[in-house]
């Protein structure tokens, strides 16, 4: 089973990202679940969502405390929340940042594998808004191909009918621009 925890801010699409990823996995014949964890948060408040993917039925119904992957949609969350909490030793952090992986690694003091992309810039240029959900999914799949990137296209088409082409461009561009550096030590 692959477990992913997604960190963002209300209104950025962390919940949508988890749902799209789960739909892509289901389309491939896998089992998946996606769910949020939030209370009375307002737009802009830190939120977390989760996604599980497996080849077998998933019976767990709990929050993910030891993820294989952590995706961070908003770089400011890195300083507000311990996004590395419980990340497996061989886990991967994928984050939206304008800084290099080496700078992020040094600032956070991490040794995990790390995927970085300036998703805010890509989203602004491709979508006209700094909503990074589809962009970060491209980065996540570059860091670890949980599902075939092409499997995400159909869920994107269903979710973003009018602006689907812009979302697909943002997704593909982030996939190409993501830099993955291996685990240190």
| Distance in angstroms (rounded) separating the CA atoms of residues 93 and 140 | 9
| Distance in angstroms (rounded) separating the CA atoms of residues 10 and 69 | 20
Tokens of 164: 């689907």
The CATH number fitting domain 2-181, selected from 3.30.750.24, 2.60.120.620, 3.40.920.10, 3.50.50.60: 3.40.920.10
| Distance in angstroms (rounded) separating the CA atoms of residues 10 and 66 | 23
| Distance in angstroms (rounded) separating the CA atoms of residues 123 and 128 | 7
Q: Are residues 104 and 180 in contact, defined by beta-carbon separation less than 8 angstroms?
A: no
Q: Is 142 left (phi over 0), alpha (psi -120 to 50) or beta?
A: alpha
Residue 41: pLDDT band (50, 70, 90) is low
Report pLDDT digits (tens) over 1-35.
999 999 999 888 899 999 999 999 999 999 999 99
Predicted TM-score (pTM) of this structure: 0.94
Specify which residues 94 forms β-bridges with. 71, 115
Q: Is the pLDDT of residue 43 over 80?
A: no
């Amino acid at each position: 089973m692959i477990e992913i925890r997604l960190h963002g801010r209300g209104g950025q699409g962390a919940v949508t990202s988890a749902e799209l990823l789960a739909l892509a996995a289901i389309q491939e014949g896998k089992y998946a679940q996606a769910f949020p964890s939030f209370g009375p948060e307002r737009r802009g408040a830190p939120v977390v969502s989760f996604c599980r993917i497996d080849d077998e039925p998933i019976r767990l119904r709990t929050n993910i405390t030891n993820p294989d992957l952590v995706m961070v949609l908003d770089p400011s969350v890195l300083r507000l929340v311990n996004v590395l909490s419980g990340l497996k030793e061989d886990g991967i952090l994928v984050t939206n940042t304008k800084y290099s992986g080496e700078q992020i690694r040094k600032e956070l003091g991490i040794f995990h594998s790390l995927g970085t992309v300036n998703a805010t810039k890509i989203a602004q240029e491709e979508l006209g808004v700094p909503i990074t959900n589809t962009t970060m999914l491209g980065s996540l799949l570059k860091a670890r191909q949980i599902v075939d990137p092409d499997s995400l296209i159909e869920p994107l088409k269903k979710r973003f009918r009018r602006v689907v082409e812009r979302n697909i461009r943002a997704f593909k561009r982030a996939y190409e621009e993501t830099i993955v550096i291996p685990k240190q030590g």
